[in-house]
Amino acid sequence: MARIAFIGLGNMGRPMCDNLTKAGHDVLGYDVVPEARDAYAAAGGRVASTLAEALADADTVISMIPTGKHVRAAYEGQGEDEGGVLTHARPGTMLIDCSTIDVESARAVSKAAAEAGFVMVDAPVSGAVPAAQAGTLTFMVGGTAEGFERARPVLAAMGPKIFHVGASGNGVALKICNNMMAGMSMVAISEVLALAEKLGLDHQTVYDVMTVSSGNCWALQSYCPVPGPVPASPANRDYQPGFAAAMMLKDMRLSQAAAATSGAATPLAGSAAALYQMLVEHGHGNKDFSAVFALITGRLTSA
């Protein structure tokens, strides 16, 4: 059983805490926003009112917070008088960041952690809130073999698929690549379905044939952006998420930043990112990212 300080009690963090607790771990939650702490406490969770309090007895830290800037603030310190995890954690504490952030920040924080004597891994997840609730997240872990082996039993409480994908930062690198593919393929299948309609094909026929043909992809088979073929997909409930367009835009931007820094050419992903940006700018950032089909076909209902 681990004594876990869980940092970031948001949409993902709270259900992850619940599954860690169910698995018998001792979880103490912390969030910079008092309302987030209160919401977790009201649901029966134990909360600390400061980061230092959360870390005082912890042997493991898990963070699930928005961006690289937030992760750097949480680990390296939030101001002149207030240290971060690297100041307050006890020697030997295992550090696990599950946030989806840029590769540079992930590598910088891991380096700072190693310099301070800690073992840290980046372990971002595939799967949104329903997977966090069901304990079926997939983890992509970047770090040393020792870090992976220490993180694995804790991560297992939140999801069965746990992959060691290389050195620090490789976890977020793979996560960014995966979501770039999901974002592009959703745009691609939306354009295909829009064309098929114009050519007189019905959605179900396209689905039945393409899912057993060379044009098949996850966005079509499991997350179809038109109502009907996949009853559980957000298209059947006016694109209630699911995975919000604003989150997909964030991840597409991370992919474009990584492409610019590394010199990779990603013209299709650039176009897809622009479409998600339009969706968000039209006021649909809270709709599922598969609403890009409605954008392309001019069928967006008012925000």
The residue (of 68 and 229) whose beta carbon lies closer to ligand NAD is 68
CA distances 220 to 143, 149, 247, 287, Å, are 33, 36, 20, 18
- What amino acid is encoded at 77 in this protein? G
175 is catalytic: yes
Q: Does 227 bind ligand NAD (CB under 6 A)?
A: no
Q: Does 86 bind ligand NAD (CB under 6 A)?
A: no
Applying CB under 6 A, among 2, 7, 174, 295 the residue interacting with ligand NAD is 7
Q: Please give the DSSP secondary-structure letter assigned to residue 280.
A: I
What gap in Å lies between CA 283 and CA 286, rounded to an integer? Answer: 8
**Partners of 163 in the beta sheet?**
140
- Binding residues for ligand NAD restricted to 235-254, rule: CB under 6 A: 243, 247
Smallest CA-to-CA distance from 292 within 225, 223, 227, 221 is with: 225
Choose, from 161, 175, 198, 287, the residue flagged as catalytic.
Answer: 175
The residue (of 192 and 244) whose beta carbon lies closer to ligand NAD is 244
The least distance separating ligand NAD from the CB of residue 210, rounded to whole angstroms, comes to 27
Long-range (24+ apart) CB contacts under 8 A made by 72-75 are: 72/105, 72/108, 72/109, 74/7, 74/8, 75/109, 75/112, 75/113
Q: What track of x and - describes contact with ligand NAD for positions 184 through 223 (by CB under 6 A)? A: ----------------------------------------
Applying CB under 6 A, among 1, 33, 41, 212 the residue interacting with ligand NAD is 33
Sign of CA dihedral 246, 252, 258, 260: negative
| Chain position whose Cβ is nearest to ligand NAD | 10
CA distances 199 to 192, 195, 196, 290, Å, are 10, 6, 5, 22
Sheet (strand 119-122) strand order: 26-30, 3-7, 60-63, 94-97, 119-122
What gap in Å lies between CA 303 and CA 301, rounded to an integer? Answer: 6
What gap in Å lies between CA 246 and CA 289, rounded to an integer? Answer: 8
The residue (of 55 and 74) whose beta carbon lies closer to ligand NAD is 74
Candidate segments 68-76, 107-115, 191-199, 217-225, binder of ligand NAD by CB under 6 A: 68-76
- Binding residues for ligand NAD restricted to 47-66, rule: CB under 6 A: 64-66
Q: Does 270 bind ligand NAD (CB under 6 A)?
A: no
Applying CB under 6 A, among 2, 6, 13, 229 the residue interacting with ligand NAD is 13
Candidate segments 9-17, 153-161, 230-238, 261-269, binder of ligand NAD by CB under 6 A: 9-17
The residue (of 49 and 271) whose beta carbon lies closer to ligand NAD is 49
Active-site residues, by number, are: 175
Contact residues for ligand NAD, defined by CB under 6 A: 7-13, 30-33, 36, 64-66, 70, 73-74, 99-100, 125, 128-129, 243, 247
